[in-house]
Structure 1
Amino acid sequence: MSSSTSPAPFSRAVVRAMQRLYPKALADNSWDNTGLLLEAPFDHKRRRSNTVLLTIDLTRAVAEEAINHDVSIIVAYHPIIFRGLKSLTLANTQQNSLLRLASHGISVYSPHTAVDAAPGGLGDWLADIVTGTKTLYDDKEGDGKPQSPEIDDDDPFIEKGRPTYTLNHHPSQTTLRLAKLAIPETITTPHTRRPIVPQSPELESHPGAGMGRIVNFKEPQPLPTVLDRIGKGLNNPKGFPIAIPQDKTISDISISSVGICAGSGGSLLGNLDVDLLFTGEMSHHEALAAIEKGQVVISLFHSNSERGFLSEVLREQLEETVVKEWQTIREEESGNEEVKEALSDQEFEVLVSEIDRDPYGIVVLKQEAE
């Protein structure tokens, strides 16, 4: 095996693990670009650590983070390459990142819509949040019970004094104070769920897969309660956009059904007959059309509908699956002297980017003390 034509053994274990968890066949391959997007050659003289870095977006800052942490491979949810390239130059910022990563021996894998469609993937993670199946919250009372929803004024635009401004981003891995995870017996709201577009043909290894989710509650849920679940499930961000019909207030509305789509949900959710559209982003006109039909729209900003999944779900999934794949590769390559040193290192680490964040933050108006 030539060191110039083969990726790092550990990187291959990660690729196998990702393909086992989220097969490319689950992705929407009519437009998406999933799989191994950058395969960096292995150099045993500059062997990198058995570390994988998880991120939503592969920006220059995240690439630098990967280099500094000596990672072997990046799993970037969003593909950094969507279309064919006629050249690779340092002038283009994304190509610059790819060239730097390749020069350091770091590969890049992107699962994207395969994660959206998979059972137990992003769609189900968002469905768990909106139904309270798994709710993160601060146990202020110490009694193991979720706190009561705090309902604010329906009209958030009432001017109460001269404002000052602070810019707040959704909590990153460095700033996030992880709330206590508790699942009391009564926390799960009775409901059914199904894909909006079922996987066809269905994969035997991933039954029930498909794009998006539709949740139907057994009993209507007050909108403030649903908002409280979303806030807690997203680890209490400073806020997120909501659109409601113009003749309603938040406290008037009950939710019996929810359409869910991570990322950009306009095309998938636009024709659904549900009470709430829960997604990362929708256009102005798509949101207007929805509220004219009496629907509610909650958009979290595109990648904020995805990022929490990395630390709360994917990291543990990958740790468990890489153990098996890494052991298999170590056995398969046991006679290869060129990678002997790399194979002797049984330990590995799965990191979640501390730099990655949505490009949008929220400017919060704070009232000046009188």
Structure 2
Amino acid sequence: MSPSTSISPFSKAVVNAMRKLYPESLADKSFDNTGLLLEAPYDPNQNLNDSVLITTDLTKAVADEAIARRDSIIVTYHPIIFRGLKSITLQDPQQTSLLRLAQAGISVYSPHTAVDAVPGGMADWLCDIVCGFIGSKEKPQLLGIKESSSLSKFYSLDVKYPQPSLGSVGKESEFPHTREAIHPSPAPVPAGFEGAGAGRIVTFGTAQDLSVLIERIGEATGWPGAISVAIPQGATIQSMKIRTVGVCPGSGGSVIMKSSGELPDLLFTGELSHHEALAAIERGSAVITLFHSNTERGYLQNVLSKKLADVIVEELGDSCRVPAESLVAVSQADRDPYGVVVLGDRVQG
């Protein structure tokens, strides 16, 4: 039987499920490229599994993983295609991954900023972190490399994220607060997604200690090897009080820094440029960054994966042939390109 001119029924169910959970109309089309990026023709002779692999970035390692697992489709948070392509060749490593996936019959879907924008999405997950909804006092098992030499290497520590709530907007908190989108999504907003938009501003009823917020972020993100913090000169972490927090997954400069009015007391995001961070602390604000994708990966692992499995089951109905927990897997090869190297006993003092 020759390949058809459409993706597999399972992959189609995954795409429909993602569009229900994270409508593509909520993505920022001014720069983003969301949707079905690679539609691999369905060939039943390839015997792919009814499974989807979730990743933050579609790298060669993740493509290898999906091909070895025989997944039908990859959901990659970041689009592997951002701009128009004039050719697709084997000379470009990323294009090579796309060609290999197409050959294997594996499709690729990217939701990106639609996941950020929806109520209960990635931005609200970060709000939940600073508001104390998500966290574990138990430090998780570190799965990174540790050497007993004088140079102890902790590169891209892989950690087991604590299990979060599935979005706690409107829930009672021991730290009363309000939250709203920094840049509300333009009308018309799909029914059920009122309040969507880029970034969030959290306003606490009572100012919080910066040191306490750092502790909450450490707990919720699996106690990473380090957290980057910038504060105004002359201030200390122990002395700073935080009433407002600007939150944005990934690279938050264009969302938080361009917000109307004064900057929030704290900017919490994946990364800011040197000049953005400098401008923030010169205006009296503090900054916390975690590396770009470390503000995103935990949501994919513990929230999106579970929501997606449930909606896929609804989409498939009686044709669902495997348990919900077997439909969705989170990539084991995915990691942030940056890591932390701890210099061990070379550090003096």
What's the TM-score, normalizing by structure 2?
0.89
In structure 1, what is the Cα distance between the partners aligned to 2:330 and 2:202? 29
In structure 2, what is the Cα distance between the partners aligned to 1:180 and 1:90? 40
Q: How does 1:329-348 map to 2 (within 5 A)?
A: 330=319, 345-347=321-323, 348=326
In structure 2, what is the Cα distance between the partners aligned to 1:281 and 1:30? 20
In structure 2, what is the Cα distance between the partners aligned to 1:266 and 1:369? 32
Structure-2 change in CA distance of 1:105 and 1:225 (3 Å): same
Q: What percent identity do the matched residue pairs reach?
A: 52
Q: How does 1:158-177 map to 2 (within 5 A)?
A: 164-172=150-158, 176-177=159-160
Deviation at 1:70, TM superposition (A): 1.0
Deviation at 1:181, TM superposition (A): 6.3
Tell me the residue number matched to 1:351: 329
Tell me the residue number matched to 1:129: 129
Match of 1:365 among 339, 343, 349: 343
Match of 1:260, SS state, is strand
Length, aligned pairs only: 330
Tell me the residue number matched to 1:148: none
Tell me the residue number matched to 1:111: 111
Match of 1:135, SS state, is coil
Preserved CA contact (<8 Å) 1:27 1:34: yes
Q: Which runs of 5+ in 2 are unaligned?
A: 141-148
- Provide, for residues 123-174 of structure 1, a one-character-per-residue CA deviation record: whole Å limited to 9, x for no partner: 000000011122233189xxxxxxxxxxxxxxxxxxxxxx9433324443xx
In structure 1, what is the Cα distance between the partners aligned to 2:215 and 2:104? 44
In structure 2, what is the Cα distance between the partners aligned to 1:289 and 1:247? 15
Match of 1:304, SS state, is helix
1:79 partner amino acid: P
Q: How does 1:173-188 map to 2 (within 5 A)?
A: 176-179=159-162, 188=174
In structure 2, what is the Cα distance between the partners aligned to 1:7 and 1:221? 50
Corresponding position: 1:191 with 2:177: yes
Deviation at 1:179, TM superposition (A): 4.3
Tell me the residue number matched to 1:249: 236
Q: Which runs of 5+ in 1 are unaligned?
A: 141-162, 331-342
Root-mean-square deviation (CA, aligned residues, Å) is: 2.4
Structure-2 change in CA distance of 1:91 and 1:182 (3 Å): closer
In structure 2, what is the Cα distance between the partners aligned to 1:206 and 1:53? 26
In structure 2, what is the Cα distance between the partners aligned to 1:113 and 1:239? 26
Tell me the residue number matched to 2:221: 234
Deviation at 1:349, TM superposition (A): 1.8
What's the TM-score, normalizing by structure 1?
0.84
Deviation at 1:231, TM superposition (A): 0.3
Deviation at 1:189, TM superposition (A): 1.4
In structure 1, what is the Cα distance between the partners aligned to 2:129 and 2:234? 27
- Provide, for residues 207-234 of structure 1, a one-character-per-residue CA deviation record: whole Å limited to 9, x for no partner: 1100000000010101110000000110
Corresponding position: 1:98 with 2:98: yes
- Provide, for residues 79-117 of structure 1, a one-character-per-residue CA deviation record: whole Å limited to 9, x for no partner: 000111111111100100000000000000000000010
In structure 2, what is the Cα distance between the partners aligned to 1:308 and 1:166? 25
Match of 1:257, SS state, is strand
In structure 2, what is the Cα distance between the partners aligned to 1:250 and 1:91? 48
Deviation at 1:199, TM superposition (A): 1.2
Deviation at 1:6, TM superposition (A): 1.6
